[in-house]
Amino acid sequence: MRAVTHLSFAGLVTVIASGFGAEPGLTGAAAMAAGSLLPDIDSQHSGLGRMVKPLSGRLERRFGHRTLTHSFLGIGVTALVLSWLFLVNPKALIYLLLGMLTHILLDTANIVGVPLLYPWRLQFWLVANRAWRVPYNSPREFTWLGVISLLAVCLVPLSLDGFSPWFHRALGTPYGAVEDYLQWREDYEVWAEIKGHNLLTDEDVNGRYLIIDAIHDDELLVEDGSGRAFTVGLSQSANIHSKRLAVWKGNQIVASTYRLELSGRLVSDLIASLPEGAKSVHINAALKLKGEADTPPVVGYFERIQKNGEEFSLRSATVGDLAPLAHLVIEGGSAVIRAEYRPGTEVLADLNLINSIPKVKSHVLGIPDLPGLAGLLIEVGDEVEEGQLIARYIDDDALAISVQELEKAQSELPRLEENLRLEQAAYDARIESLAQAVKDAQKKRDRIAYLVTREAEAKVKLFEAETDLRKANEAVLGENTRWTSEKMRLEQGITDARLGMTRAKNKQKSEVIKQWVKAPVAGLISDIRLVGITTKGINLEVMILEKLEPGNPAY
């Protein structure tokens, strides 16, 4: 086959690979093209062979044309010779070898065939009938070239979204629509073309809606231009019973999803904490609210806020949906916020909720039959690490430890000391950077103040500069506060490690690990409650507030 035929077939395979989600990109496509020409390096008359004549001549004299390089062995040798490329760019090597395979498979359509199992010289053909084989540079080859090129061009538009979405659109079922939505939702707006019947209003539906969530694997939640939401699917519980449902990519977005624990807050606090600059914000939540709220029933479309006593369930609710509840107190519950931004505007989402709503999750740890409070190793206000010992069931004199455990305790101290040293260095670097920021903000404020006194600058600029200076000073204060706590924790860890080594030398029992209660998560001890007394001891409940974002200053 001619080089252009091999290139067109490699292009077709690249398009097909893209359609199935392989995403070869420019590197993969170039490697595929190079690989589709590489097997003809064993001929001095090929385009590639003329470029490397000494090598092609030697291969042709030693092996002949369409022998080693047109076999599985040749592909294996090439993979071995270029194995270093896998460390540099794995995709390039994979697509290069795939390109070689396309060349060899296409050559099975010509008259001569190829020895796929070389050095066994059995020839393989695509078709057994010689009359159907393709002579080199013949009108039949040009027909193949045209068909392959046309097919590749026709498949390009389909491959951009992938073949699977087009298949789903052809079927028009909710199952495929949900699958495509979940695949695209983090990077694109997703729109649904719906043909169906609204079961609530007994009206036919035929239009384009923005998808805002997936309810089930066969049901979507969509929104019309006026902000009303509808569920779409095949079940009788759906607002719109779909006859045909197809989804399409829309504008590119940047999505952010985060979780908030809201106990003890007002709903207005939740509203105030929502990010500014977002294209859209939707809230999913289960909340226990205290107070009375006027929530008129929804008629004709999906009810985003549903009430059951004091329990409120929110599904893709908006700020407008929350407004009637703004004065209510949240006695318990959490919310998952999904915000979408136009690319490049996500920096506008300065989540001031970090300073207003602690991101924590509560855990209740039961400690039954503890012999006495002397076995409790923590107090309210202590910070614990995951796996840290917080209670013991036996006295110090009765504890024992194996030689292996002693060695482990002895090896822990250098690590903690090294951690303290590294954290100290990191803190010094951060505080130096923050101090420089304070200096820069002070200089800027002094310069603007000078200009304001001469009426060369607006007073609002001075206010902004003073605000920046205050924020810079607050950042230094926050870092110092965080480091004080962190340093105490590290130093306490070192102290505990040293104490552990001292105690381990005097202990004799081997099953000590079974006698301790460990913290299941890292967090803050917020409460210790006595819940009962038995003949064996006392029953305690320890409340631990887990940090959802470790290191967050708002915690």
CATH code of 474's domain: 1.20.120
Sort residue 34 into left (φ over 0), alpha (ψ -120 to 50) or beta: alpha
What would the pLDDT profile of 346-399 be if each residue is shown by its tens digit?
654 444 443 444 545 667 788 888 888 878 888 888 889 998 988 887 655 555
The residues pairing with 362 across neighbouring beta strands, listed in sequence order, are 545
Phi, psi of 282 (to 5 degrees): -130, 140
Same domain, 102 and 133: yes
What would the pLDDT profile of 156-174 be if each residue is shown by its tens digit?
877 777 777 888 888 889 9
Rounded Cα distance between 4 and 106, Å, is 12
Of 54-68, 116-130, 349-363, 497-511, minimum mean pLDDT range? 349-363
Domain limit, last residue, from 252, 279, 313: 252
Q: What is the CATH number of the domain that holds 238?
A: 2.30.30.690
Same domain, 221 and 335: no
Q: In the chain, what percentage of residues exceed pLDDT 70?
A: 87
Is the four-CA dihedral 50, 55, 59, 62 of positive or negative sign?
A: positive
Same domain, 333 and 408: no
Same domain, 322 and 406: no
Domains of the chain: total: 5
Six-digit token string for 195: 């043909």
For every residue of 176-213, DSSP letters joined together read HHHHHHHHHTTTEEEEEEEEEEETTTTEEEEEEEEEEE
pLDDT band at 148 (very low <50, low <70, confident <90, very high): confident
Domain limit, last residue, from 212, 228, 252: 252
Same domain, 459 and 378: no
Six-digit token string for 430: 């951060």
Same domain, 139 and 7: yes
Domain limit, last residue, from 304, 334, 357: 357
Same domain, 45 and 140: yes
Please choose, from the candidates 420, 424, 401, 423, the residue with its C-alpha nearest in 3D space to the C-alpha of residue 502.
401
Same domain, 394 and 521: yes
Q: Give the angle 317-318-324 at the CA atoms, nearest 5°.
A: 90
Structural domain that includes position 539: 358-399+509-555
Q: Give the angle 538-520-540 at the CA atoms, nearest 5°.
A: 15
pLDDT band at 325 (very low <50, low <70, confident <90, very high): confident
Rounded Cα distance between 528 and 370, Å, is 13
Q: What is the CATH number of the domain that holds 549?
A: 2.40.50
Roughly what angle, to the nearest 10 degrees, separates helices 459-504 and 403-453?
A: 170
With 90 as the cut, is the pLDDT of residue 452 above it? no
Roughly what angle, to the nearest 10 degrees, separates helices 3-19 and 25-37?
A: 150
Same domain, 346 and 370: no
Same domain, 32 and 90: yes
* Arithmetic mean of pLDDT, 406-432: 83
Quote the pLDDT of residue 552: 47
Same domain, 102 and 186: no
State the virtual CA torsion across 497, 498, 501, 505 in degrees, nearest 10: -150
Rounded Cα distance between 317 and 212, Å, is 10
Quote the pLDDT of residue 220: 93
Same domain, 290 and 426: no
